[in-house]
Chains A and B, each alone.
Chain A
Amino acid sequence: MIAIVFIVVMAIVIGLATLIGGADGAAAVASAQVPWWALIAVLGAFVAFFAGGIYVGAALSSLALLAGFGLSDRPFYNFIGEMIWSPSTNFVLVSVPLFLLMGEIMLRAGLSERLYRGLNVWMGRMPGGLLHTNILACGVFSAVAGSSVATAATMGSVALPYFEKSHYPPKLVLGSLAAGGALGNLIPPGITFIIYGLITETSVGALYIAAIGPSILVVLLFILVILYYSYKMNLHGQTVSSKVTWRDRVGSLADLLPTTLLIGLVLGTIYAGIATPTESAALGVAGSIVLALVDRKLNWHMVSESMHSTARTTSMIALILFGAYFLNYILSSLGVPQMLAKFLTGLPLPGWAIMLVIIGFYLALGTFMEGLSMVITTIPLLFPVVKALGYDPIWFGVIITMLVEIAMISPPDGTVLYVLQGMRRQPGPITDVFTGVMPFMFVYMLAIFILMVFPSIALWLPSVLS
């Protein structure tokens, strides 16, 4: 509902801006190869297909067929094979199933319990103790896994038992876990970055470096939220009876060791320049298998289930990716992205206002659309606009990933929220999770705003390291 209102308001803003800046708009139309009514018809079909629940991938390619046969006189159908073969064999894309596989194996290997226990020794005494552990454990875990659902599920499974019969309000517990899950894609290595890098031909390594600053920012904001609520609700940390000695702290390091090794293997090799992101993903899979083996959790059933799940998610992404490449080919040959870029940059609005509109558009879309399909569908169209506005492609990649993460935890449609609801020991309504995650969602949006004002939070590190 909010989403629809938002989209309507945005349409009115853009419409008014077009009327005011009529001259520029007319110039864009005059130079276009495609009549406006045809574009509006395609847009209408787009909305109708999506609203009608057509498979997203099939909707994109059906639109491509409609636009291709209706508006283009080129024999585009002769190039379909090549059009989808070359992205299919792209080495960058190979990292997607590998990171998925790694996440699936770690989800099933239960490596996370020791991580949680280990971190708790350090965080337990702060006001809101265990809640901080939730965020930090999710953050550390997502530095090895590239998926938010896997992060929330893994950490939720080990964290929730700690909260039984505790004085922590369930809303805050569930909210902090969901928020922690929403770090999964932002903290490198994440799958959204790979897909974005593939579509826009941006370096995935540079995106991973750029994500470090924003990741730290978001974690700090989350911790502030928890501190605020802890003081407000008087949530103390662990009591004196379970006093933590330095012996415990040193001992806890052993619990943190496996995860640290895996982080070193995956991120260390990327940042040190020894391996490309794809290669480090393969190392990560191998590493997680070895760790599962050491923990005696490795068995054929688990590996087979992990492969199955990976194959399904990868093919799910593939169908959308094919459709997007196909549609993008047709639309580019018609000059539509350039038209859109010209139109939006010609509006009498400053660049940041158009960027705000784009961000608002993604937030609205995110409430009912799955994150990755949102990126694959819209980036080919919006990326030229962003570049024409003079924004850095790497900066925009970080923003997009944060928007996808917000989509993951924005009620009422967020996989992460339903995973956590399903894990609760004490039953309660799903609205507990919804209200619990809200403050975290708002500070996530605040982080995007901060990043708009200070883009160097993301761009400083890549510029220093290059």
Chain B
Amino acid sequence: MFDLLERISHGAMRVAGFCYLLITALICFDIAARQLLGFSTEATIELTGYLMAIGMSWGLAGTLFERGHVRIDVLVQKMPLGYRVWLHLLSLLALVCSTVFYAWGAISVAHDSFVFNATDLTTLRTPLALPQGLWAAGFVLLLLAGIALGLRAVRQLCTGQQDAMDRALMARTYEDEAAETLEAVADAQSQPEGHRP
């Protein structure tokens, strides 16, 4: 169950990545159409806005699993493990509480749009419930991910696996961030040098 949720979250994050690529394509097409063909699609701003909102909310859960959400951990890192695990749990609790409100708010916005048949003002007349519903789904996923991580953390605490819990929840450090950037650079350098002499 936990693994499934983690896989879904990563999948959602991939979709979020594609949202940004699609935004690029849409905007470039719009510019080309405006400059070269003399017409404007007029819906680009709305469409990219929806894609942006969906991308942001769909990436939230994956970011949580990858320990990507920012925490100020200067003090936490210096604390003994026994205290640290409780702070991890408290963090998750605060996150879950906030997400309940976000998810509820997002669902009710989508619900209202659905009931009133609200559409946007562009030529596309997109029914707003569609992007808002997808957007709300991201918060629901974050909520589920938060609860799942919380339950696993409690189980790890009960079975005495404090170290494992600490590793799973500790915020990414500057060293982690740096290590990943270095990996990317190494990838770039390991490739063949192309056509250059």
Interface residues, chain A, with chain B CB atoms under 8 Å away: 49-59, 61-62, 65, 77-85, 88-91, 93-94, 97-98, 101, 104, 107-110, 149-150, 153-154, 156-157, 274-275, 278-279, 282-283, 285-286, 295-297, 299, 301-305, 307-316, 318-320, 322-323, 368-370, 373, 413-415, 417-419, 421-423
Tell whether, in the assembled complex, residue B17 and residue A307 are in contact, meaning their CB atoms are under 8 Å apart. Answer: yes
Q: Does B75 contact A (CB under 8 A)?
A: yes
Q: Who on chain B is nearest to A80 by CB?
A: B105
Given contacts A88-B53, A101-B20, could you give 14 more A-B pairs where the C-beta distance is less than 8 Å? A55-B91, A65-B101, A77-B105, A79-B105, A80-B105, A90-B49, A98-B20, A98-B24, A107-B185, A153-B182, A279-B30, A307-B20, A313-B68, A314-B16
B33-57: CB near A (< 8 Å → 1, else 0) gives: 0010000000001101110110111
Give CA–CA (A72, B25) in the complex, Å. Answer: 45
Give CA–CA (A354, B102) in the complex, Å. Answer: 36
Tell whether, in the assembled complex, residue B105 and residue A314 are in contact, meaning their CB atoms are under 8 Å apart. Answer: no
Interface positions, chain B 176-192, Cβ under 8 Å from A, are: 177-182, 184-185, 187-189, 191-192
Tell whether, in the assembled complex, residue B13 and residue A311 are in contact, meaning their CB atoms are under 8 Å apart. Answer: yes
**Sorted from nearest, which 3 A-B pairs have the closest CB atoms?**
A307-B17, A80-B105, A89-B49
Tell whether, in the assembled complex, residue B195 and residue A296 are in contact, meaning their CB atoms are under 8 Å apart. Answer: yes
Chain B residues near A84 (CB, 8 Å)?
Answer: 102, 105-106
Cross-chain contact of A56 among B48, B71, B105 (Cβ < 8 A):
B71
Tell whether, in the assembled complex, residue A65 and residue B191 are in contact, meaning their CB atoms are under 8 Å apart. Answer: no
- Given that A283-B31, A286-B24 are known contacts, is A91 also in contact with B48, CB under 8 Å in the complex? yes
- Given that A53-B71, A61-B101, A373-B70 are known contacts, is A94 also in contact with B62, CB under 8 Å in the complex? no
Chain B residues near A419 (CB, 8 Å)?
Answer: 177-178, 181-182
Q: Does B94 contact A (CB under 8 A)?
A: yes
Chain A residues near B62 (CB, 8 Å)?
Answer: 311-312, 315
Cross-chain contact of B98 among A62, A83, A90, A302 (Cβ < 8 A):
A62
- Given that A53-B87, A422-B178 are known contacts, is A88 also in contact with B135, CB under 8 Å in the complex? yes
Q: Does B156 contact A (CB under 8 A)?
A: no
Chain A residues near B73 (CB, 8 Å)?
Answer: 53
Give CA–CA (A295, B191) in the complex, Å. Answer: 11
Chain A residues near B108 (CB, 8 Å)?
Answer: 78, 81
Cross-chain contact of B70 among A61, A274, A320 (Cβ < 8 A):
A320
6 pairs, A vs B, C-beta closer than 8 Å: A54-B94, A54-B95, A81-B107, A309-B184, A311-B59, A315-B58
Chain B residues near A413 (CB, 8 Å)?
Answer: 74, 174
Tell whether, in the assembled complex, residue A315 and residue B16 are in contact, meaning their CB atoms are under 8 Å apart. Answer: yes
Tell whether, in the assembled complex, residue B94 and residue A62 are in contact, meaning their CB atoms are under 8 Å apart. Answer: yes
Rounded to whole Å, the gap between the CB of B185 and the closest CB of chain A is 4
Interface-central residue, A110, A295, A303, A413, by most chain B CB under 10 Å: A110
Give CA–CA (A279, B102) in the complex, Å. Answer: 30
Give CA–CA (A172, B30) in the complex, Å. Answer: 47
Chain B residues near A77 (CB, 8 Å)?
Answer: 101, 104-105
Chain A residues near B48 (CB, 8 Å)?
Answer: 91, 94, 278
Interface of B is mostly: helix
- Given that A52-B76, A90-B49, A98-B20 are known contacts, is A107 also in contact with B91, CB under 8 Å in the complex? no
Give CA–CA (A84, B62) in the complex, Å. Answer: 20
Q: Who on chain A is nearest to B17 by CB?
A: A307
Give CA–CA (A90, B53) in the complex, Å. Answer: 9
Interface-central residue, A58, A81, A156, A373, by most chain B CB under 10 Å: A81
Chain A residues near B185 (CB, 8 Å)?
Answer: 107-108, 153-154, 156-157, 423
Tell whether, in the assembled complex, residue A85 and residue B53 are in contact, meaning their CB atoms are under 8 Å apart. Answer: yes
Rounded to whole Å, the gap between the CB of B135 and the closest CB of chain A is 7
B80-121: CB near A (< 8 Å → 1, else 0) gives: 000000010011001101110110111111100000000000
- Given that A93-B52, A414-B174, A419-B182 are known contacts, is A282 also in contact with B27, CB under 8 Å in the complex? yes
Q: Does B14 contact A (CB under 8 A)?
A: yes
Tell whether, in the assembled complex, residue A52 and residue B24 are in contact, meaning their CB atoms are under 8 Å apart. Answer: no
- Given that A81-B109, A315-B63 are known contacts, is A107 also in contact with B184, CB under 8 Å in the complex? yes
Cross-chain contact of A97 among B52, B58, B72, B195 (Cβ < 8 A):
B52
Tell whether, in the assembled complex, residue B175 and residue A418 are in contact, meaning their CB atoms are under 8 Å apart. Answer: yes
Q: Does B69 contact A (CB under 8 A)?
A: yes
Chain A residues near B68 (CB, 8 Å)?
Answer: 312-313, 315-316
Give CA–CA (A52, B185) in the complex, Å. Answer: 34
Q: Who on chain B is nearest to A108 by CB?
A: B188
